[in-house]
Amino acid sequence: MHPASTTRQGGLTRSSLSGRRLAPAAGTHLPRTLTLLALLGCARSSAEYGARDEVRAAGVVPQAAAAAEGDLRRPSGPSNTESYAVINDNPFLAARTNPLSTFSIDVDRAAYSNVRRFVTRGERPPKDAVRIEELVNYFPYDYPEPSGADPLAITTEVADAPWNPAHALVRIGIKGKSVDMRAAPPNNLVFLLDVSGSMESPDKLPLLKHAFRLLVNELREQDRVAIVVYAGSAGLVLPSTSGDQKPTILDAIAALEAGGSTAGGEGIRLAYKVAREHHRPGTNSRMILATDGDFNVGASSDAEMVRLIEAEREHGVFLTTLGFGTGNYKDSKLEQLADQGNGNYAYVDTPLEARKVLVAEMGGTLLTIAKDVKLQVEFNPARAAAYRLIGYENRLLAAEDFNDDTKDAGELGAGHTVTALYEVVPVGARTAPPVRGVDPLKYQAPASATSAAAGPELLTVKLRYKNPEGAESRLLQHPVADRRAEPSADFTFAAAVAAYGMLLRDSEHKGSATFEDAIAMAERGLGADPAGYRREFVSLARRTADLGRVADDGDGGAEGEGGAGDRGDRMENSRAGETRHAPAPPK
C-alpha cells in the first residue's frame, strides 16, 4: 500500500494516494457541489487560477490571459500515443457499372483544427488525420437559405477541376436553415467533462474550462445545464440548473481539477441519464462530451463505447464531442462516438477555436434541424465516364441504405453548410485515371439507357432527411446539367482546400496540384471572409509549403511536395483500422 500522505488545500484535506480521497478539513463546511467535486478529486482552490482561467462576463479573454495562452498547443511531453482511423482515398468508379454514389453528410470540423495544430508546431500531420471533407466543411459558404417547408436546401456548381482541367469538378452544397438562437427552443444541456489525470496539461482542462465558460455566458433563462465529471469514477457535480444562474454554473466549472484514471463509459451513462430525466417535448437535449478520448477504466474500447452510445441515442438526446490536447489524443474514438451518437465533433486547439465552435457557430453545434441526412448521386453514363467523391471515405453507405430509414446518418445543425466535391471524367476524355470496375456479366446484359440519358443532365442529387424527432424520411431531388461555368469565389476556395488536403495526404489523385496552386486559388476565393477564417487558411497553407521546403533542403527525406516522408514525425501501424502517431526518434 502506498503511504497516505495528505495536504491541506482550500478547506479540503487531499490524499496524494489517489487524488480522489478528499474530505473536509476539520471545522469547515462545504456546499454539496464542492463536496462531490472533492470526492472525485476535482476541487481546486480559487487562488490557483491565473489569467488563463479568467473569463469576463462577455466571454472575452483578458490581455494577460492572451499572453499566457501562447503555450496551449505545445505537447506536454515526448510520449505520443495519438490514434487515427485509417483512411484510403476514394477511387475513380465507372459510371456505367457504378452509377450510384451514396454517403452520409459530415458536419464535423475536427480535422482542420487538428491539422492546424500540427502545422503550427512545425510538423506535417499524419496522413490519416487529414479528412478532406472536414477541411472543406470547416469554412462557411454563401449558400442560399432554404425557402420552402424543408429545413435545408441543395445548391450545385460545375467547373473545371483545377488540378486536371480535362475533368469537371462538381460542388454540391447543403444549407441548413438559420435560427436566431435567442428564439430557439429551450436547451437541456449536460456537460460531460473529463477531469482525469491525462487532462492536466494547459491545452486540456484549462482550455476546456475556458471554452465552457464562453458557452455558459451565452445561456438564456429557459436553458438548463447539468455538469457530470469523470475520473476514476463519475459524479454529478451540478444538478440541472437554470441558465440565469450563471455564477453557480461558473463556480462549478472553476472548481474542476485533473486527477485519476478515466472511467469514460461510466460518465457517459450518467450524463445520458441526467439528460433523459430533464428532456421535455420541444426542448433541445444534448450532451457535450469534452475529453482527450483516452478512456482506460470500465467500458473503454471503441466497440464498447459505440454500443453504449447506440443504445442511448434513441432517447432524443444528441451528442457533441469536443477534443482537447496532444500526445495521447484519440481522434478515432471521438469521431466514432459523434458519428454513432447523432452528433458532431470538433477539436479545440485554441481559445479562438472554442469561441468559433461554442459561440459564433452555437446554433450549428447545439441545435439539430435535420437528422439522418443522406445523399445519393446518380451519374449519367452518357456524359460521365467515371467519377470520384473527394473525402467522406468513412461516411460511405450502400446504395440500398439510402431508402432504409433505419440506417443512421449525419445530423445538420442550424445554419450549417455542408459541401461535397466530385471529380468527374467526361465521356471521351483523352486522359483517364485508372477506374475500378468488374468483368462483364455472364448471365445478364447491362441495363439499357433511358431517354433521360440523352438529355443535358450530368447527374442527379437525391437527399433524404428526417425531422429531429421524426422516424420517416423526406426525399429531395436536384438535377445538375452538364454545363461548366466560371467558378464562384466559394467554389474556388473549396477547391483550394480540397487540393491542400490531397497534397497533405499525398493522394495519387492530386494531379498537377501544388501548394502554390492551392494558395493562389484560396486567395482568389477569399470573398468577404468577415471572420478571417479563409485568410488564416492561406497563412496555414504557406506554412505547410515552407515545411515541405525545409524537409527537402534538410535531409532529402521528403517525397515531393505532397510527400509522406518522415518530416519530423512517423506513423506506426497499431491495430487493424487505426494508425498511431508517434514522434521521430532523436537524431
Which 3-state string (H, E, C) describes 183-231?
A: HCCCEEEEEEEECCHHHCCCCCHHHHHHHHHHHHCCCCCCCEEEEEEEC
CA 234 to chain centroid: 25
pLDDT higher at 50 or 541: 541
Query: Please, which pLDDT band fits residue 254 given cuts at 50, 70 and 90?
Result: very high
450-489 exposure pattern, b = at least 16 Cβ within 10 A, e = fewer = eeeeeeebbbebbbbbbbbeeeebeebeebbebebeebbb
- 383-435 tens-digit pLDDT: 999 999 999 999 999 999 999 999 999 999 999 999 999 999 999 998 778 88
CA distance 284 to 407: 22
| Cβ-contact 322, 337 below 8 angstroms | no
**Fold observed for domain 88-179+370-428+454-562:** Immunoglobulin-like (2.60.40)
- 548-572 tens-digit pLDDT: 775 555 543 333 343 333 333 433 3
Write out the residue limits of the CATH 2.60.40.1230 domain(s) in the chain: 88-179+370-428+454-562
CA distance 33 to 64: 30
Q: According to the per-residue pLDDT averaged within each range, which of 28-42, 142-156, 327-341 is highest?
A: 142-156
Q: Mean of the pLDDT values across residues 459-476?
A: 96
| Cβ-contact 168, 459 below 8 angstroms | no
Other CB atoms closer than 10 Å to residue 420's CB: what's the count? 26
pLDDT > 60? residue 61: no
In CATH, the number for domain 187-361 is 3.40.50.410
Model pTM greater than 0.95? no
pLDDT > 80? residue 253: yes
| Cβ-contact 271, 289 below 8 angstroms | yes
pLDDT for the residue 78: 52
- 475-515 tens-digit pLDDT: 999 999 999 999 999 999 999 999 999 999 999 999 999 99
Q: Using CB atoms within 10 Å of the CB of residue 239, give its burial: 0 to 12 exposed, 13 to 18 middle, 19+ buried.
A: middle
Helix or strand (DSSP H, E) at 236: strand 234-242
Q: Mean of the pLDDT values across residues 269-291?
A: 93
pLDDT > 90? residue 37: no
pLDDT for the residue 309: 83
Query: Which percentage of the chain shows pLDDT scores above 90?
Result: 64
Range scoring the smallest mean pLDDT among 228-232, 247-251, 334-338: 228-232
Q: Can you give the three-state secondary structure of 478-513, one letter per residue?
A: EEEECCCCCCCHHHHHHHHHHHHHHHHCCCCCCCCC
Write out the residue limits of the CATH 3.40.50.410 domain(s) in the chain: 187-361
Nearest to 120 by CA among 75, 81, 53: 75
Nearest to 577 by CA among 332, 218, 346: 332
pLDDT > 90? residue 16: no
pLDDT for the residue 558: 37
Nearest to 42 by CA among 245, 194, 190: 194
CA distance 137 to 152: 16
Q: Name, in order, each residue with C-beta under 8 angstroms of 151's C-beta and a sequence gap of 6 or more.
A: 176, 177, 369, 370, 412, 465, 467
pLDDT > 60? residue 47: no
Q: Across the strands, what pairs with 241?
A: 225
Instruction: Kindly list the strands in the beta sheet with 164-176, ordered across the sheet, starting from the edge strand earlier in the chain.
Output: 152-161, 164-176, 417-426, 384-390, 92-94, 435-436
330 secondary structure, DSSP code: B
Query: Please, which pLDDT band fits residue 304 given cuts at 50, 70 and 90?
Result: confident
- 105-123 tens-digit pLDDT: 999 999 999 999 999 999 9
Give the type of residue at 9.
Answer: Q
| Cβ-contact 191, 225 below 8 angstroms | yes
Q: ∠ CA(156), CA(162), CA(166), 5° rounding? A: 90
Q: Name, in order, each residue with C-beta under 8 angstroms of 321's C-beta and a sequence gap of 6 or more.
A: 288, 289, 290, 291, 334, 335, 337, 338, 341, 343, 344, 345, 346
